[in-house]
Structure 1
């Protein structure tokens, strides 16, 4: 079909679209998490009937990396981690979050990508740090988080 690209499900379209299930598989997330990102507006999607479809361009904007399936030639591993830190004040959250996000962003481009998000519940004094990315990078970032938490009074 000329310049048409594959639709996630076999139908040819002008762009590549992914189902919510496929995006969850590619990112190593639960389907409900991806649906939540769509509902919250953090991940752009088009509703077709009763299902969402995510354009490759929107997935790339969300992840900061090309929306491609890993090469079938060898194994490829990624991870997601959620770190919950209880009993942490607002100032400590700001310091920790800024440091962790800066550490994730300063990695060399050929070392894989990391995506970091933080969610703070001030009422419960609880911080969640969500890390998505390659195994080595995530492990390094978890060590940094551990050191920062140990430094807090």
Structure 2
């Protein structure tokens, strides 16, 4: 069998999570599983993709990388939280085959300065910059 099916308990042990947490991820649609009778079974490849385990060798993805720093002055706390949440969700929306994307945000409430540091493939960096622009236009 190429990709064995795991029980919730086996998946929880592999992820070092509680089985109820794995069930919550399944019910919320974050982790794909198949229901067999009253129990769930998780394909090992889907579990690896969920956990961010790369297929094949441990070599980093080849290709150009862009490092982008975006400074946004005069933001409110609420706007900074909203933009950080938007960017974090967008960064997590890839799959196991996606090239790695690193994003960090920082906000200084005293000055209202918001900073985004993004490291990604150029095409992914461009998409994230579009997301930042879209988030700022609200």
Residues 48-127 of structure 1 aligned to structure 2 (within 5 Å): 68=59, 76-127=63-114
Does 2:130 align with 1:143?
yes
Superposed structure 1 runs of 4+ greater than 3 Å apart: 64-71
Stretches of structure 1 that go unaligned for 5 or more consecutive residues are 1-63
Q: CA deviation at 1:113?
A: 1.4
How many residue pairs match? The answer is: 84
RMSD value over aligned CA atoms?
Answer: 2.1
Q: TM-score, normalised by structure 1?
A: 0.50
For the 8 Å contact 1:93–1:120, the answer to whether it is kept is: yes
- SS in structure 1 opposite 2:118? strand
Deviations 1:48-85 (CA, angstroms, capped at 9, x unpaired): xxxxxxxxxxxxxxxx97874666xxxx2001101111
Pick from 129, 141, 149 the counterpart of residue 116 of structure 2: 129
Greater RCO, CA 8 A, separation 6+: 2
Q: TM-score, normalised by structure 2?
A: 0.55
